[in-house]
Amino acid sequence: MTNAILQTLHLMEIHLSWALRKAPSIVELERDTMRELKGHYKEIHDASFSPDGKYLASGSNDKTIRIWDVNSGKEIHKMSHKRTVQSVQFSHDGRMIVSGSADRMVAIWDVILGKRLKVFDKHKDEVYRARFSPDDKFIVSGSADKTIRIWDVESGEQLKIYKDLDMVYDVKYFSDGKTIVSCGMGTTICLWD
């Protein structure tokens, strides 16, 4: 699988920080809180705006994904995994959310209905990140099992598996939809084709 690595960047240090808060806040540039969205009762790991900015999805240690109406601040849907929700992202058309969880699953959810559409369950350890491709046809996921997996959204089939040397904390598609960047516990950033 090393031929799949296009380039490896060795870094002395990567400083990543995030604040684990019990209520996600929508904040203006002046850092004044516009609205607090309350519902989660444990730390929040990820949040994502819908492409039109009307909705916000959040994933938490309380094992839930919550969809919020940004204007009213009201919770619209609450969906559940069996363990901590590590990541959430809206599809580019805004109709679906992909989530990654400590229950080793990647799931796709219908935004309007608040229902699970598909589950991808081949990871052997918790999933830290799951992201849609730019055309929403594929999902890439990264896991503590040291793999990056590519999934077909329509069929649910696992298309590719890349093996990394370390746990994979983050994965993203480049805008071309072909290249994937990953980073994790190690000191390298990998680009995959």
Which H or E run contains 99?
strand 96-101
Closest-CA residue to 66 (of 81, 82, 51): 81
Residue-by-residue DSSP string for 2-24: GGGEEEEEE-S---------SS-
Closest-CA residue to 146 (of 127, 132, 121): 127
CB atoms within 10 A of CB 5: 15
Region for residue 156 given its phi and psi (left: phi exceeds 0; alpha: psi -120 to 50; beta: otherwise):
left
Residues in contact with 179: Cβ distance below 8 Å, sequence separation at least 6, in sequence order: 6, 173, 191, 192, 193
Which residue ranges form the domains of the chain, and what is each CATH number?
Answer: 18-165 (2.130.10.10)
Q: What is the pLDDT along the chain (193 residues), one digit of tens a residue?
A: 333 433 333 333 333 333 444 555 555 555 566 778 888 888 989 999 999 999 999 999 999 999 999 999 999 999 999 999 999 999 999 999 999 999 999 999 999 999 999 999 999 999 999 999 999 999 999 999 999 999 999 999 999 999 988 899 999 999 999 999 999 888 888 898 8
* 142 neighbors 182 (Cβ within 8 angstroms): yes
* 151 neighbors 158 (Cβ within 8 angstroms): yes
* 34 neighbors 47 (Cβ within 8 angstroms): no
pTM of the full predicted structure?
Answer: 0.81
